[in-house]
């Protein structure tokens, strides 16, 4: 039997633990939404980078290196404490490849101890039964893997072929929720790949989302009719994912600009390995202030700051956070003069939670 058709049922004990963790996380997510609607003073989602190094080198990625050391546990915990004190609801650990961090389990434990919802974005290559069980024990609640193609190529090794065995292990042992993200758009050789990946995700009991790549000039470009059909089908498959409610995704599929209020620097924070606060992975350098010096006044200012990059934004997780505040508080401040972003706009429009590690 081909690897991609193998389905192994989890034990009754794992299924029960999974259902209980899912229900607890959903309750916590609903509380998170309630708290976000009542007050605009705390971050809703933070992406934290404890490890910039990655074991892969996807050619489209601008978020990794092959040399940097892990941020020491003590320092990561200090950052988590600062975020918890701000009232942060969700932390997603990203990279680089976070599973290369030697103390990742302890990092996740600390997030849970401080009452925050714990998520992880990984390329999945280091997952095995023992590692999955350690993540279960640490209290992980969400895990996302982006899969770029069915068969590995020169652009990306994150393929269904290389990862399917790990996905089967996740379906067998993970008690946390798993989302599989696939991609569509220019540069994707075969759009049917996204559909195959999404169907495989659902077959294994995971949620599925899809990312859209725009053209090489970073311009929004509508998908062709067949790709749009695939897009809609994958979106329908992603039943349990909140992302399907986001109108942004449908605008991007049709190549339209999206008008919304980006609350990065306030409701969403990106904390790099150096402990600096940035608007997001694609606007590193703004505001570039150490987390320990990032005051409530600064967050408040960013809340009201209009982001020049919003109409063609590539970062869907910030769009999803924005839904909670789009209906209120128009933005009328200009960004403070700062050094230019360290990295250019990525060519990817990220839907669900993106192709890479953002
Ligand atoms: S790229 Fe998107 S998420 Fe990042 S600052 Fe601009 S509008 Fe916000
Ligand atoms: S996309 Fe992810 S797996 Fe690929 S190089 Fe970047 S960080 Fe590594």
DSSP 180-208: EEEEEETT-S-THHHHHHHHHHHHTT-EE
Distance from the CA of 53 to the center of ligand 2, in angstroms?
9
Using only C-alpha atoms, the chain has a radius of gyration, in whole angstroms, of 19
Q: In the prediction, which pLDDT does 272 show?
A: 97
Q: Tens digits of per-residue pLDDT, 257-301?
A: 888 999 999 999 999 999 999 999 888 888 999 999 999 999 999
How far apart CA 280 and CA 316 sit, in angstroms, is 11
Distance from the CA of 248 to the center of ligand 2, in angstroms?
24
Atom of ligand 2 nearest to the CA of 55: 8
Helix (H) or strand (E) holding 92: strand 90-93
Place of tokens 């895990």: 143
Atom of ligand 1 nearest to the CA of 309: 6
Handedness of CA 66, 293, 339, 257 (dihedral sign): positive
Q: Mean pLDDT check: name the lowest of 74-83, 187-196, 286-295, 348-357.
A: 348-357
Q: In the prediction, which pLDDT does 210 show?
A: 86
Q: State the pTM of this model.
A: 0.90
Q: Tens digits of per-residue pLDDT, 340-351?
A: 445 444 433 343
Out of 279, 312, 325, mutate this one to test ligand 1's pocket (max ligand atoms within 8 Å of CB): namely: 279
């Amino acid at each position: 039997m081909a690897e991609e058709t193998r389905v192994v049922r989890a034990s009754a004990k794992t299924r029960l633990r999974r259902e209980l963790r899912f229900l607890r996380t959903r309750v916590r997510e609903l509380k998170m939404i309630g708290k976000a609607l009542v007050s605009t003073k705390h971050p809703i989602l933070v992406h934290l980078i404890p490890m910039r190094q990655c074991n892969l080198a996807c050619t489209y990625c601008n978020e990794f290196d092959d040399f940097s050391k892990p941020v020491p546990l003590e320092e990561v915990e200090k950052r988590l404490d600062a975020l918890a004190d701000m009232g942060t609801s969700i932390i997603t650990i990203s990279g680089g490849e976070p599973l290369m961090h030697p103390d990742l389990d302890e990092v996740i434990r600390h997030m849970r101890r401080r009452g925050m919802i714990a998520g992880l974005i990984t390329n999945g290559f280091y997952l095995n039964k023992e590692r999955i069980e350690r993540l279960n024990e640490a209290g992980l609640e969400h895990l996302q893997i982006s899969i770029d193609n069915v068969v590995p190529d020169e652009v990306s090794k994150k393929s269904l072929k290389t990862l399917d065995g790990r996905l089967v292990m996740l379906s067998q042992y993970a008690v946390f929720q798993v989302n599989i993200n696939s991609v569509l758009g220019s540069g994707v050789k075969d759009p049917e790949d996204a559909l195959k990946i999404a169907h495989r995700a659902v077959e294994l009991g995971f949620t599925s989302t899809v990312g859209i790549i725009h053209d090489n000039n970073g311009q929004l470009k509508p998908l062709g009719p067949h790709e749009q059909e695939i897009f809609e089908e994958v979106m329908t498959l992603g039943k349990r994912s909140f992302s399907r409610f986001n109108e942004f995704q449908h605008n991007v599929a049709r190549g339209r600009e999206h008008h919304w209020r980006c609350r990065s620097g306030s409701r969403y924070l990106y904390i790099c390995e150096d402990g600096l606060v940035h608007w997001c992975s694609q606007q590193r350098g703004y505001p570039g202030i150490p987390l320990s010096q990032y005051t409530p006044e600064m967050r408040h200012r960013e809340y009201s700051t209009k982001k020049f990059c919003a109409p063609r934004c590539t970062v869907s997780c910030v769009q999803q956070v924005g839904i909670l505040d789009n209906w209120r508080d128009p933005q009328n401040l200009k960004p403070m003069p700062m050094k230019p972003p360290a990295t250019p706009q990525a060519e990817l429009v990220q839907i669900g939670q993106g192709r890479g590690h953002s």
